[in-house]
Amino acid sequence: MKQTFLATVQVSGQGDSKAQAFADALSKVQRAVLGQSDKVLLRIEPHEVQVIHAEQATTTERFLFLFLPRERTRYSVALEVTAQVSAIDADSVAFAPVPSRSFTRTRPCS
């Protein structure tokens, strides 16, 4: 009933700091693993994380195109995460049918 298998997914994330970019990418691992499998997930434990690419984009913003210049940095990462997944295969569970009850009215509806 309980199964353990390895799943490899690719996720990407972006943020205003390096930590936010990694956190955004890692928060998408569960959704990606769930999309690959039709099982009920119990635990997802990352074993290996490889960086596919990491980018830093710096732009200069100005107020009214002239005043108060400031630089903004945006980080983006793409990761390949290998995770050990514990799941329950719902197809292997035998569900017993419950007989349906018949409903009889005792008084007429008004």
Q: Is residue 39 part of a domain?
A: yes
Q: Is residue 103 part of a domain?
A: no
Number of domains within the chain: 1
Q: What pLDDT was estimated at residue 28?
A: 95
Range of the structural domain that residue 61 is part of: 2-91
- Return the closest-CA partner of residue 33 out of 23, 24, 41: 41
User: At 110, is the pLDDT very low, low, confident or very high (cuts 50, 70, 90)?
Assistant: low
- Residues 36-63: what's their mean pLDDT? 91
Q: What pLDDT was estimated at residue 109?
A: 64
Q: Is residue 107 part of a domain?
A: no
- Residues 2-26: what's their mean pLDDT? 94
Q: Is residue 98 part of a domain?
A: no
Q: Whole-prediction pTM value?
A: 0.75
More confidently predicted of 44 and 64: 44
Q: Is residue 17 part of a domain?
A: yes
Between CA 43 and CA 1 the distance in angstroms is 14
Q: Is residue 109 part of a domain?
A: no
pLDDT at 47 over 70: yes
In this predicted model, what pLDDT tens digit does every residue of 79-104 receive, in sequence order?
999 999 999 888 888 888 888 877 66
Q: Is residue 96 part of a domain?
A: no
More confidently predicted of 78 and 64: 78
- Cβ-contact 16, 74 below 8 angstroms: yes
Q: Is residue 105 part of a domain?
A: no
